[in-house]
Amino acid sequence: MSDSRLTRLGLRPSNYGDSWGFAVSASELVDPVGVVIALHGGLDRAASFARVARRLSTYSFYAPDRRGYGGSRELGPGTVSEHVDDVFRLLEEIAPTVPVVLFGHSFGGLIALASAARGVVVDQVIAYEPPLPWFTTIEGTVRSVSDDPAREAELFFRRMIGDAIWERLAPDARHERLNDGPALQADLRELQKPIGFDVTSIKVPITMSYGDGPHQAYYADCVRGLRATGLLVSEVSLERATHGAHLAQPDVVARLITSTVEP
C-alpha cells in the first residue's frame, strides 16, 4: 500500500524501527492522553488499523508491519519470540511517558500476550480473538500448513476474507499477499509448537475480547483455559463483531481500547 494511501487513512510511515528494517506506521500527537501499539494478525499489515487510529484522536497510534510482512518483509518470517523482541525495541524507541495499550489482533494478540509474559512495560494488553490452542480443547486453530507459501496465502485469504474479494483484488495487491506467504506459514507453524512463554508470569492487566461470530465458543474457552492457570483475565464479548472487527467495526474496537484505560 502506498504512502499516500496511508496518509489519507490517518497513518503515516514513521522512522521508528528504521535501524533494524522494521516498518512502522504512526499517527502521533504532541500531547496524547495515551499510546496504542497495534499488532496485526496473519496475512495482514499495519494499514488495516488506520480506521481504528482515526477514531482514537487523542492517542498516539503505532502499527508495525510485523517481520516478514509488507514493509518489514526483508527481515524474513519471525518466531513469536522474535516478534516480541520487535515489540520491546519499538517501545524503547518510542519511550512513551503516558499510558500504553498493547493491542493485538488474532496472531498479533498471541504476540501481545507473549510480550506480557516477558515483562513488557505497558498499562494494558488487549488480545482480540488470538489463537491459543494450548488453552482449549475446541478444535479450529491448528491445522496442516501447505509447503507452498503462495498457495497457503491464497487459501488463508479465501477462508478468512472470502473468495469474491480475492477474485476482485488487483494483480499487484494479490501479488503482495502471495509474497507474505512465508510469514503466514511461520505464524501457523508457531501454533503447532509447544507454547513458548509462561502465562503465569504475566503481571500487566489482560483483556481478552472476541466477537459473536462462529468461533465465539472457541475464544470463550481460551479465556477459561487462561483462567485455569491462575491468570486474572478480563473478558469482553462484543456484539455483532467479526474477526476483522478492526476493519468492519472500527468504532467498536476503538471503544474497546479506550474503555480499558479511561474512567
pLDDT attached to residue 139: 78
pLDDT attached to residue 4: 40
Name the DSSP letter for residue 217. H
**DSSP notation for 29-70:** -SS-SEEEEEE--TT--GGGGHHHHHT-TTEEEEEEPPTTSG
Look-up: residue for cell 473468495? 163
Instruction: Answer yes or no: is pLDDT of 141 > 90.
Output: no
pLDDT attached to residue 160: 83
R_g (Cα) of the chain, nearest Å: 17
pLDDT attached to residue 3: 43
pLDDT attached to residue 162: 87
154: left (phi over 0), alpha (psi -120 to 50) or beta: alpha
Mean pLDDT of 234-241: 94
pLDDT digits (tens, 9 = 90+) for 55-91: 999 999 999 999 999 999 999 999 999 999 999 999 9
pLDDT attached to residue 137: 87
Look-up: residue for cell 488487549? 126
Choice among 142-146, 175-179, 201-205, 229-233 with the minimum mean pLDDT: 142-146
Mean pLDDT of 220-232: 97
Domains of the chain: 3-259 (3.40.50.1820)
- Label residue 142 by pLDDT band (50, 70, 90): low
What's the rounded Cα separation, in Å, for the pair 18 and 224?
Answer: 40
pLDDT digits (tens, 9 = 90+) for 110-126: 999 999 999 999 999 99
Instruction: Answer yes or no: is pLDDT of 170 > 80.
Output: yes
Instruction: Answer yes or no: is pLDDT of 6 > 50.
Output: no
pLDDT attached to residue 263: 62
Mean pLDDT of 40-66: 95
- Label residue 1 by pLDDT band (50, 70, 90): very low
Q: Which residues contact 231 (CB under 8 A, 6 or more apart)?
A: 199, 200, 202, 206
Question: How high does pLDDT run on average in the chain?
Answer: 92
Instruction: Answer yes or no: is pLDDT of 127 > 70.
Output: yes
Mean pLDDT of 202-227: 95
Mean pLDDT of 187-212: 96
